[in-house]
Amino acid sequence: MSGNSFGTLYCVTSFGESHGAAYGGVVDGCPPGMALSAADIQQELDRRKPGSSRHVTQRRETDTVDILSGTYEGRTTGTPIGFLIRNEDQRSKDYAAIAEKFRPGHADYTYRQKYGIRDPRGGGRASARETVIRVAAGAIAKKWLRERYGVQIRGYLAELGPLKIKFRAWQDVQENPFFAPDNSRLEELEKFMDALRESGDSCGARVNVVAEKVPVGWGEPVYGRLDADIAGAMMSINAVKGVEIGAGFAAIGQKGSEHGDEMTPQGFLSNNNGGVLGGISTGQDVTVSIALKPTSSIRLPRRTIDARGKPTTVETTGRHDPCVGIRATPIAEGMLACVLMDHALRYRAQCGDVVPPVQLKPGVG
Amino acid sequence: MSGNSFGTLYCVTSFGESHGAAYGGVVDGCPPGMALSAADIQQELDRRKPGSSRHVTQRRETDTVDILSGTYEGRTTGTPIGFLIRNEDQRSKDYAAIAEKFRPGHADYTYRQKYGIRDPRGGGRASARETVIRVAAGAIAKKWLRERYGVQIRGYLAELGPLKIKFRAWQDVQENPFFAPDNSRLEELEKFMDALRESGDSCGARVNVVAEKVPVGWGEPVYGRLDADIAGAMMSINAVKGVEIGAGFAAIGQKGSEHGDEMTPQGFLSNNNGGVLGGISTGQDVTVSIALKPTSSIRLPRRTIDARGKPTTVETTGRHDPCVGIRATPIAEGMLACVLMDHALRYRAQCGDVVPPVQLKPGVG
Amino acid sequence: MSGNSFGTLYCVTSFGESHGAAYGGVVDGCPPGMALSAADIQQELDRRKPGSSRHVTQRRETDTVDILSGTYEGRTTGTPIGFLIRNEDQRSKDYAAIAEKFRPGHADYTYRQKYGIRDPRGGGRASARETVIRVAAGAIAKKWLRERYGVQIRGYLAELGPLKIKFRAWQDVQENPFFAPDNSRLEELEKFMDALRESGDSCGARVNVVAEKVPVGWGEPVYGRLDADIAGAMMSINAVKGVEIGAGFAAIGQKGSEHGDEMTPQGFLSNNNGGVLGGISTGQDVTVSIALKPTSSIRLPRRTIDARGKPTTVETTGRHDPCVGIRATPIAEGMLACVLMDHALRYRAQCGDVVPPVQLKPGVG
Amino acid sequence: MSGNSFGTLYCVTSFGESHGAAYGGVVDGCPPGMALSAADIQQELDRRKPGSSRHVTQRRETDTVDILSGTYEGRTTGTPIGFLIRNEDQRSKDYAAIAEKFRPGHADYTYRQKYGIRDPRGGGRASARETVIRVAAGAIAKKWLRERYGVQIRGYLAELGPLKIKFRAWQDVQENPFFAPDNSRLEELEKFMDALRESGDSCGARVNVVAEKVPVGWGEPVYGRLDADIAGAMMSINAVKGVEIGAGFAAIGQKGSEHGDEMTPQGFLSNNNGGVLGGISTGQDVTVSIALKPTSSIRLPRRTIDARGKPTTVETTGRHDPCVGIRATPIAEGMLACVLMDHALRYRAQCGDVVPPVQLKPGVG
């Protein structure tokens, strides 16, 4: 399988460039009989859409999805679901100045060196706009997981540059353009973003994602572990530089007597492991946290070289997110949904006849 | 591909349980003509071997590898390399007491619920002893990468529980049983481990791995990114709860003007990206950092349930590493080697005719 | 990888239904830098196009291909090539009568039973119209194989129902709508087809495909053999019921002294093996022959059951090819091209450093 | 996935050479809880074993299988099943004379050219002895398919060189060393083989395999079709040059009104399609027929070249099967079992919630 597909049974294939005609995706392996319309996908795409507030890129894209195959009379048929999201706002002139320069922090240099050629318009294939496909594929997975198993997948912005945002309520996440879990912090966040934008610089972010009601038993040790597949999927999102499951890096400083989640007939007493033990889901919440680097496209001048290797400087004046992490929440949710769905299917392939011997509530999520 | 194989072209398959007859591995896709003997693998296995100091498990295993296929007159033939590592010290009695209890932090519960059945002897398939296969497969990859491209892959212990160990010299790493990069810290580390062992508890660790001289161009966006595959491979190692590439979680607090690695004709001026941009290697050092949780098997009594769901307590009195992170360095190196080798082969499949247009030194590693 | 993708490195993904909005394909893994325009694909699609003579279906489709991604300024960039072929002539009313009946020889019954639901319009996903994707993906592979290695892939109609057509000249194949390799037989073929069409019945066919100038060394024993992958690819074409490589079934009656192709410094003296020995190409022509069953959609009444299991009869009055084999030549060529390209890439991944030790001409093709 | 593994969910990996220490296999993805002992595999291996009659190779191998992992207390645990079959009779001196010559019909030349190096002892990796792994993996699949779904997989020798053997009874197949389905033909077959052996030549064969009680719905259109995967698996068996499903090549001469299997409430009235329509099983018998070429190793002198390209002759005096097809029956059964099992698992992954809407007996097998 080449690099633009992922998943063993719930298999997602992606194509498209930032300033090409369209992004397209193919979801293969979706079970038949599920009600599915473009609206089901659209509502997730709208959460990721550019231009939704002044804190994100002002590129004008409706991100309208067209389903081209795989459904009949509003239901999935089990055949591959092909879909397109056309690019509408392609101001390639914005990019002419940088076509022959390698922007620091961008994939300009690596694409050029790897392939000998690259599409410089808007970052080409390396543009984070590709994540529309992940969100769309994730929307289908989310729907199936919810309807079939009651699984609920939600994320939020946990850190915005230096600002840590403690979780207060899921309700809040839906009510602000940051996906921040505490509306009382909004003024602070907006102020920070306004200053950042004005400075011409960018910042990083942390996004947390949680999957609730995941049944016990999903994940295939030893290389196809649930957490391994999650880590791979998350790190494949543009700008992600770190992934944690459960306690994550905090586990370094924990004692075994503290980290190991004790069990009682009422379930686990804690969830340091993030819902995965030995690569298999425990029935608790699957908790994931990711680090996103600051946007590489900034207005401040940066030293670089041009396509002939000569020194130069570059300022990126296009329309960019000052913090790519802000729109990352629905993307991370989508990737988690795809991985969980893949493992849901893999689970019932191999273990479809197994009745889990112990009846146990998950306990602490 | 099922869960016990990984890699697209350099494909590693693993089998075996802690107290079964043997662990076995198959490495498929290795280029032909490379000199390879059991000794090449053995030297890496010896670095991971139990019983090498009082700070690790005292299980007595020589971890002797037998190559069963894939070489002729001391050279690889391009056919699959099958190898075995027999289990020698299988004191299953140690485990009888816990066969019907789910040890907190272990995979006992998840294996039982997933499969309806599990091999309780020494953790069965969930035992970290499986990592011998990763080290062996990694040894072959390391050798090829070194001989073909000059790639060098090395790791070290960066944190031991609460103790941070600053990097001093690669030479030091080879001279102490902790893989610690600073011999002046040994007394402190030993004291800490002695106290930990005495307390019956365990601790976590951080291991850093670096691959030097990786050519530019390895990695397949957008899902088969080099960093995505590294993250998946690392998270698949037993006890790993977090993975970082380059700046990792520190990128959250960085500004774009700080994080984005500037370029000059002499190469990159910094390496926040950890040698990967847009999923493709930059030619700089590939830098990875992982968090390992504290060993779950501890002597302290812990609350749990038995196989019928009844509450009980468990103490693990077998021979265990008080810190699994100590022996993790060669394992993490092995996994990084396998992923890099896979992408080296994938690179030349697709881009074998490309001459990287810009001649540039990597700059800061 | 799910069922609608194939290939390890030259990976083709397909979606679409006969009367949906469009068929779409994604070709991932194509090397960068190759000149590629829609016209390169179109010329192959035009060879397969319906309505090109009175002997094939009269459905009106221009089969116009749009490339949506993966090229820049007329060259492949190494990123996935997404393309669409819109359906234009969708007379779904033709199919209303048969929506609730299972046509003998068709996949109506199996799709319904497998998925619980099916798109009945024009056969839905089971329609042979899906082969546009194979032809398009094959066109790209053909071009690369030709430019990079000089490989030439051509096929012809070897049998039309009871009529065997001996090979005379490749030139002839291009000059008639049957892909028949002997223009002197055209009148006979046309007469046969006219009578067949009038009778309301259909017939089978044999198509032969030959790849010339395939280098020695392509194919991965033991399961990824070149001939195994060819056989799988050919049998995946609609209506194919048999595949032969080289001597094929005639090998049963051969002696070893007759079948085994002798070698001299001038190359092989015969090609019973069809250009593949031990799963690896020999440098001779790769020769493949396939059997296509008669079209299942015929005007004659046939016994069947309806969706509730009740007995009924069905006549298929839509626009159908009386012999699907006639248009199968470009499809079989396309599939052979895709498999060869996949193995070309796999070869240089593993054996890119090997210089074949013996300099030998291929000899008899 | 590299060339020595096959199967998406029931994944078989193979290693070993004819005169190496051992052949080994890994079966990954087997459902847990099935009773499995070495004896279950051994009984199938014994059917393929050399030396069982004077008509096959006299190499002395007990082909004893050792299961090294994946079972606990006699049941599969869901973890990979690793097994070994040690080579016992390795008279490498037999092969010294031919180490530097390329035997016609053999893979000597292609391995040497592909890999630059080859293990010449007994054909190395290209030896048909590798098929022990297929038989062993097939034995596990057969057992699961039989116990879970009642599927029965059986094969027989349908042609031996020029002799066609009409099917009389399954009982007969078990009672003679040819797997011939008609004991009344034994004398004739023995006479033919005796004469063939004496002549120093070899002959081809046809083997038919039938899977009964396969449920409707297995197979993944459009590329992962059940018949496509069967064709690929069969063509990957050493010496196979052709594969047919159902009517196979006879379909060329059939009319649509003859070929298309009619349906009634009692099921299908014929089985020209061989139990597969549109790539999905129909519920009828899956019928497969394969052509095996004559053994390449013959005593008669043959023209060839040596490793430096110089002309020479070769006679193969080792212990060889004069007709490899004779022992091919259990191998073909094994491969069919593996493919069916893979699709059984894939079916329930995607369609585990589907109740086939029509209740229908399969009808004619």
Tens digit of each residue's pLDDT (9 = 90 or more) over B170-211 = 999 999 999 999 999 999 999 999 999 999 999 999 999 999
**CA-nearest residue of chain A to C34?**
A117
B220–A3 CB contact, under 8 Å = yes
Give the pLDDT band of residue D93 (cuts 50, 70, 90).
low
pLDDT of residue A94: 59
Mean pLDDT for D268-280 is: 98
- Inter-residue contact B86 to B302 (CB < 8 Å): no
Structure confidence at residue A95 (pLDDT): 65
For residue A313, give both structure tokens: 């400087």
- Residue D94: what pLDDT? 59
Residues D53-75, mean pLDDT to the nearest whole number: 90
Owner of token pair 């197994």: A354
Determine contact: C33 vs chain B, CB below 8 A.
yes
Residue of D225, A107, D113 lying closest to C281 (CA atoms):
D113
**Residue A125 in tokens:** 């294939």
Average of per-residue pLDDT across A133-139: 98
Decide if B47 contacts B177 (C-beta within 8 A): no
- Closest-CA distance, A58 to chain C, in angstroms, reads 24
Q: Is the pLDDT of residue B319 over 80?
A: no
The pLDDT of residue D95 is: 65
Query: Which of A:108-137 have CB within 8 Å of C?
Result: 114-119, 124-125
- Residue-wise pLDDT for B81-98, tens only, equals 999 999 987 665 656 667
Q: Please report, rounded to a whole number, the percentage of residues in chain B having pLDDT higher than 90.
A: 86
| Nearest CA-CA partner of D358 in B109, B262, C307 | C307
Q: What value does the mean pLDDT take over residues D222-250?
A: 98
pLDDT of residue D164: 98
Helices (H), ranges, C223-274 = 226-235, 256-259
- Non-local (6+) Cβ contacts of D8 within 8 A are A8, B1, C1, D224, D342, D346
The number of helices, as runs of H, and strands, as runs of E, in chain D is 9, 18
The more confidently predicted of residues D100 and A269 is A269
Indicate the pLDDT class of residue A122, thresholds 50, 70 and 90: confident
CA-based nearest distance B174→chain D, Å: 34
Using the Cβ of A2 and the Cβ atoms of chain C, whether some distance falls under 8 Å is answered with: yes
Count interface pairs B-C at CB distance under 8 A.
56
For residues A268 and A262, give the distance between their C-alpha atoms in angstroms, rounded to a whole number.
Answer: 6
pLDDT at B91: 65
Q: In this complex, do D350 and A353 lie within 8 Å of one another by their Cβ atoms?
A: no
Unique residue bearing structure tokens 């004496």: D198
Instruction: Using pLDDT thresholds of 50, 70 and 90, give the confidence band for residue B343.
Output: very high
* Chain B residues in contact with D22 (beta carbon < 8 A): 68-69, 82
B305 in contact with chain A, both atoms CB, cutoff 8 A: yes
**Is the Cβ of C15 closer than 8 Å to some Cβ of chain D?**
no
Chain D contact for C146 (CB, 8 A cutoff): no
Phi (first) and psi of residue B267, to 5 degrees: 115, -170
CA–CA gap between residue B201 and residue A271 (Å, rounded): 19
Treating both helix axes as pointing N-terminal to C-terminal, what angle do B328-351 and C328-351 enclose, rounded to 10 degrees? 130
Contact between C79 and A5 using a beta-carbon 8 Å cutoff: no
User: Is there a contact between B20 and D80 if contact means CB atoms under 8 Å apart?
Assistant: no
pLDDT at C54: 84
Contact C32 B350 (CB under 8 A): yes
In D281-300, the residues whose Cβ lies within 8 Å of chain C are 281-283, 291-298, 300
Evaluate whether C245 touches D293 at the Cβ level (below 8 Å): no
Q: Residue C352: its chain B contacts at CB < 8 A?
A: 31, 348, 352
Q: What is the pLDDT of residue C254?
A: 98
Picking from B190, B153, B144, the residue whose alpha carbon sits closest to that of residue B27 is B144
Minimal C-alpha gap between C326 and chain B (Å): 35
Does the bond joining B214 to the residue before it have cis omega, within 30 degrees of 0? no
Q: Which residue of C has its CA nearest to B345?
A: C349
Position D103 scores a pLDDT of 93
CB within 8 Å of A198: residues ≥ 6 apart: none
C-alpha count within 13 angstroms, C-beta hemisphere, residue A290: 32
Helix residue ranges, H only, chain A: 38-48, 93-96, 108-115, 131-149, 170-175, 186-199, 226-235, 256-259, 328-351
The confidence band for A202, taking pLDDT boundaries of 50, 70 and 90, is very high
Interface of A with D in 168-227 (CB under 8 A): 221
Min Cα–Cα distance to chain C from A72, Å:
6
Collect all residues of chain B within an 8 Å Cβ-Cβ radius of residue D118.
72, 77
- Checking if the pLDDT of D317 tops 90, the result is no
Strands D311-314 and B163-164: unpaired
* A257-269: average pLDDT: 96
Between B24 and B319, the higher pLDDT residue: B24
Residue keyed to tokens 């042609």: D159
pLDDT at position B95:
65
Least confident segment among A122-126, A217-221, D34-38: A122-126
Residue A364: how many CB atoms within 10 A of its CB?
A: 14
Please tell me whether residue D164 adopts helix, strand or coil conformation: strand
**Chains linked to D by 3 or more Cβ pairs within 8 Å:** A, B, C
Q: Are A74 and A102 in contact (CB under 8 A)?
A: no
C300, C105 Cβ separation under 8 angstroms? no
Give the confidence band of B321 by pLDDT, cuts at 50, 70, 90.
Answer: confident
pTM of the predicted model, to two decimals? 0.98
Q: What is the pLDDT of residue D91?
A: 65
Report d(CA B150, CA B211) in Å as an integer.
10
Residue type, B48: R
Q: Smallest Cβ distance to D20: which of B20, B28, B69?
A: B69
The radius of gyration of chain D from alpha carbons, rounded to an integer in Å, stands at 21
- Decide: helix, strand or coil at residue A247: coil
Share of chain A above pLDDT 90, in %: 86
Question: What are the residue ranges in chain C where pLDDT is below 50?
Answer: none
Q: Classify B301 as helix, strand or coil.
A: coil
Of the candidates A342, C156, C249, the residue with the CA atom closest to the CA atom of residue D289: C249
**A79 to chain D: closest CA residue:** D221
Q: How far apart are CA B68 and CA D21, in angstroms?
A: 6
Sequence-distant (6+) residues with CB within 8 A of A159 are: A165, A204, A205, A206, B252
Whole-number pLDDT of residue C53: 82
What is the band of A1 on the pLDDT scale with cuts at 50, 70, 90?
low
D29 pLDDT exceeds 60?
Answer: yes
Contacts of A346 in chain D (CB under 8 A): 9, 349
Residues A139 and A25: their CA atoms lie apart, in Å, by 12
Query: Which of A21, A77, A82 shows the shortest C-beta gap to C117?
Result: A77
**Residue C262 has what DSSP assignment?**
-
Length reported for chain C = 365
What rounded mean pLDDT belongs to chain B?
94
Show the CA angle centred on residue C89, arms to residues C86 and C92, nearest 5°. 115
Predicted local distance difference test score (pLDDT) of residue C96: 67
A262-to-A215, A225, A273, B105, D6 alpha-carbon distances in Å: 19, 22, 11, 8, 41
CA distance B106 to C186: 74
